[in-house]
Amino acid sequence: MEVLMINKQEVSDILSMETCIDLMTETFKTLAEGNSIQPLRSAMWLPDKSGWLGLMPAYASDTKVMGIKVVSVFPQNHDKGLSSHQGAVLLFETETGEMYAIIDGDRVTGIRTAAVSAVATKLLAREDVEDLTILGSGEQATRHLEAMLLIRDIKRVKVWSRNHEHALAFVKTQTPNYKVSIEAMEDAREAVLKADIICTCTAAKEPVLRSEWVRDGVHINAVGACTAGVRELDSDLVARSILFTDKRESLFNESGDFLFPMKEGLFGEEHLKGELGEFLSGGEPARKTEKDITLFKSLGLAVEDLSACHYIYEKAKEMKRGKIINL
Q: What is the DSSP letter of 302?
A: H
Listed by start position, the domains of the chain span: 2-109+303-326, 126-300
Has residue 283 got a pLDDT over 70? no
Computed on alpha carbons and rounded to an integer, the radius of gyration of the chain in Å comes to 19
pLDDT band at residue 262, thresholds of 50, 70 and 90?
very high
Mean pLDDT of 173-196: 96
CB-count exposure of residue 320 (10 Å: 0-12, 13-18, 19+): exposed
Residues 226, 205 contacting (CB under 8 angstroms) = no
Mean pLDDT of 64-76: 89
Among candidate residues 20, 17, 26, the one with its CA nearest the CA of residue 276: 26
Note the pLDDT tens digit of each residue in 247-260.
999 999 999 999 99
Q: CATH classification of 126-300 is 3.40.50.1220, yes or no?
A: no
- The distance of Cα 20 from the centroid of its chain, to the nearest Å, equals 12
pLDDT band at residue 52, thresholds of 50, 70 and 90?
confident
Has residue 80 got a pLDDT over 90? no
Note the pLDDT tens digit of each residue in 201-237.
998 899 999 999 999 999 999 999 888 899 999 999 9
Asked, colleague to colleague, whether 2-109+303-326 and 126-300 share their fold, the answer is no
Has residue 83 got a pLDDT over 90? no
Half-sphere exposure of 57 (CA within 13 A, CB side): 5
Q: CATH classification of 2-109+303-326 is 3.30.1780.10, yes or no?
A: yes
Note the pLDDT tens digit of each residue in 121-177.
999 999 999 999 999 999 999 999 999 999 999 999 999 999 999 999 999 999 999
Q: Which residues, other chains included, contact 146 with Cβ-Cβ below 8 Å and sequence gap of 6+?
A: 17, 114
